Amino acid sequence: MQEITRREFVKMGMASMAGLFLRGLELSSLQFVPEVDNPLDSYPERGWEKIYRDQFRYDSTFHFLCAPNDTHNCLLRAYVKNGVVTRIGPSYGYGKARDVYGNQASHRWDPRCCQKGLALVRRFYGPRRVKNHFVRKGFKE
C-alpha cells in the first residue's frame, strides 16, 4: 500500500473540489454586463453619495488655541455638528494673525497641527475630562 503525504492529499482534495465546482457551474447562468456609453446616465442607486457627503458636514466652526501640555500653541479650527465638536483641523489663519504689538505671522506656518491637537476631541468628551471646579488642598487652606 502506497502512503499518501499530507501535501498530496490536499492537492487531490483541492483538484476534486475544483472539478465538482466546474461541473456544477453552468455557463448559461452567467450574465455579462452590457456595454455602457455614459456610466453617469445609467448609474444605479446613488443614495450612498449623500451619506458619504453628510459624514463631514458641520453646522458651525470656531477657532481656538491648542496647548495640550506642549508649547506649540497651534491655532486650530473645531467643526461642530448638533452642538458636539466632531473633528479638529488646522485653521490656515497664521498669515492673518497679529499679536498685541502688531507683529504679523507668516503663512509658512500653515498648516500647523500636531497629533495631540487632532486628538483633543477625545479629551473634550472622554470619561476623564474635568467636569467641575477644582481647588488644590493647600491653596484652599
Torsion of CA 12, 14, 19, 23, to 10 degrees: 150
pLDDT truncated to tens, each residue of the chain (141 aa)? 678 898 989 998 888 888 777 766 655 566 677 777 777 777 677 788 888 888 889 999 998 888 766 667 788 899 999 999 998 988 887 777 778 898 887 777 777 778 888 888 888 888 888 888 888 777 777
Question: Which pLDDT score is estimated for 129?
Answer: 82
Instruction: Please say whether the beta carbons of 76 and 115 come within 8 A.
Output: no
Question: Which pLDDT score is estimated for 69?
Answer: 63
Instruction: Please say whether the beta carbons of 58 and 79 come within 8 A.
Output: yes
Is residue 119 classed as helix, strand or coil in its secondary structure? coil
- pTM, to two decimals: 0.54
Boundaries of every domain in the chain: 63-125
Question: Which pLDDT score is estimated for 62?
Answer: 93
Cβ neighbours of residue 21 closer than 8 Å, sequence gap 6 or more = none
